[in-house]
Homo-oligomer: A and B are copies of this chain.
């Protein structure tokens, strides 16, 4: 992929989140987003089908990495260890830009039912990616479904911790997510 292409994509996401924050999601047009990002509308549409999809950009990449990490976990790994491997792999793609945008992105989603719906479907997709990968490893139902839900909860909780925490250079998303998974494992034990 050309370097300038990746730059345009990032600039579009930043411009969109800025505009959503300034004037609201509904009032923001694709034309405005492209203008703010310094690209043409056709460049916008090469990257995203519409302004809503822009906010869940990366869903397919995350799903793929979660599934790959789970598939490639050692045979000896139990369901939660495999989920941890998937989470670790997926969290590698979330960098400083994601962290910097996170609070404004969260505010934009909180202010728009349409974005909340899209965000909820993203969660369903990520959970399904993990559950399907676990089933492919031979994890029985409903254990696979439950482990997929635990993985999603860990991802969301770890991401929130990371996004809201201090900005230390060594503070990786993966650490927050794996800590959250450990807490959920302990909570799960306390329930049964």
Contact = CB atoms under 8 A, between A and B. Distances in A.
A149 B145 CA distance: 11
A185 interface: yes
A150 B148 CA distance: 12
A27 interface: no
Interface of A: 78-80, 113, 116-118, 120-121, 123-124, 142-143, 145-147, 149-150, 153, 157, 180, 183-192
A26 to B, nearest CB: 15
Contact of A147 (B120, B180, B189, B191): B191
Contacts of A145: 153, 157, 187
A146 B153 contact: yes
A142 B153 contact: yes
Contact of A190 (B121, B143, B149): B143
Contacts of A149: 149, 153
Nearest to A113: B121
A63 to B, nearest CB: 15
A189 B143 CA distance: 10
A116 B80 CA distance: 27
Given A120-B123, A145-B153, A191 B188 contact: yes
A151 to B, nearest CB: 11
Contacts of A180: 142
B153 A188 contact: no
Contacts of A190: 143
Contact of A117 (B120, B184, B186): B120
A166 to B, nearest CB: 21
A81 B109 CA distance: 33
A142 B191 contact: no
Contacts of A188: 146, 188, 191-192
Given A117-B117, A120-B121, A145-B157, 19 more contacts: A80-B191, A113-B121, A117-B120, A117-B121, A120-B123, A142-B153, A142-B183, A142-B187, A143-B187, A143-B191, A146-B150, A146-B153, A146-B184, A146-B191, A149-B149, A149-B153, A150-B191, A186-B192, A188-B188
